[in-house]
Structure 1
């Protein structure tokens, strides 16, 4: 039992991990539910995280900031070895999402042009 207590003492509770990463406990629970991070359970049922998970949370937040959905992030986590760059295994997934964003941008530009055309044709001096 002393071993378990010592091991639990080295692990972070969800609030401690939240403080280290600037992420809310609710968001950490969401990451866990999506399989992005793993937690152990204390004897009382509390989530306990390895301190290394803090770096993983930083990676997750960086990838979310790049507009990637959690399902893609889950695929990319194994492609992170260095905190400042992704391994080549990430490229196909990133290219796929870049193409999706390019397509969305193209559709939005077309929609914008259509709206601008409607505005221009509705102006009092357009006739």
Structure 2
């Protein structure tokens, strides 16, 4: 399939596909006239990339998932390197949740204080 067809099927733009290609995540074949041509495996890769970007992973974090798919695994998270990225990202999210919890508690304390010492 050509780049426009892949973009449509993957729910992205041709510009993003070129961006993924520039970062080594997507590998098109080239036709005799230089057009990019993609197979179903690249569609799987692009869908994996988009899903991982949607949960906050960066392009460098996504590389192990793409490599895992290219190695013939049914899923990009079936490899140890991918699992390591997921564990690290989960730890980051847990840290953010802890930080937000502390901010929330501080705001609750300040609000309770503001309500009890309201000027007349």
TM-score tier, shorter chain, comes to: 0.7 to 0.9
**Matched residue, 1:34:** 23
2:62 pairs with 1:63: no
**Matched residue, 1:103:** 95
TM-score, structure 2 normalization:
0.78
TM-score, structure 1 normalization:
0.74
What is the alpha-carbon root mean square deviation over aligned residues? 2.1
**Matched residue, 2:12:** 23
Q: 1:91 to 1:120 in 2, by over 3 A?
A: same
Q: 1:91 to 1:51 in 2, by over 3 A?
A: closer
- Offset at 1:53? 0.6
2:105 pairs with 1:113: yes
**Matched residue, 1:79:** 68
Greater relative contact order (Cα < 8 A, sep 6+)? 1
Alpha-carbon distance in structure 2 between the residues aligned to 1:36 and 1:48: 15
Q: In structure 2, the residue corresponding to 1:52 is in which secondary structure?
A: helix
- Offset at 1:59? 1.3
- Offset at 1:47? 2.9
Structure 2 residue runs without a partner (length 5+):
none
Pairs aligned (count) = 113
Alpha-carbon distance in structure 2 between the residues aligned to 1:66 and 1:118: 33
